[in-house]
Amino acid sequence: MLRDDLAETGAEDFVPLPAPHFTSVPAVLGAVYVVEGSRLGGAVLKRSLPRGAPARFLGAAPSPGSWRKLLAILEERVCEPEHVSNAIASARSVFRLFELAGLDVLRQE
């Protein structure tokens, strides 16, 4: 959906950022937390787009109850201090990728 939206705007020739490398289940869950949270935020962002703007990605509805399920998994699997540290570090790295992608777009404008 994101690639289709980018193609429609003429921005399909972007250079992808390096994919993060996750070394543990808590690290993966930290990344999933950020991505799933951004999907929830996508509904808010979609409302601020001009009418007719491509918004397949931002408008993709999450599975019913997916956020609650994720929080339950986090409670179960990210409970040791080391797990929490790994999840937080991973979440920060994903947020940083979002930031770098946004800065790259701003430099191109």
Per-residue model confidence as pLDDT tens digits over 43-74: 888 999 999 999 998 888 888 999 999 999 99
Cα separation, 19 vs 72, in Å, equals 26
Per-residue model confidence as pLDDT tens digits over 10-50: 776 777 888 899 999 999 999 999 999 888 888 888 999 99
* The model's pTM: 0.82
User: % helix / strand / coil in the chain, to the nearest 5?
Assistant: 70, 0, 30
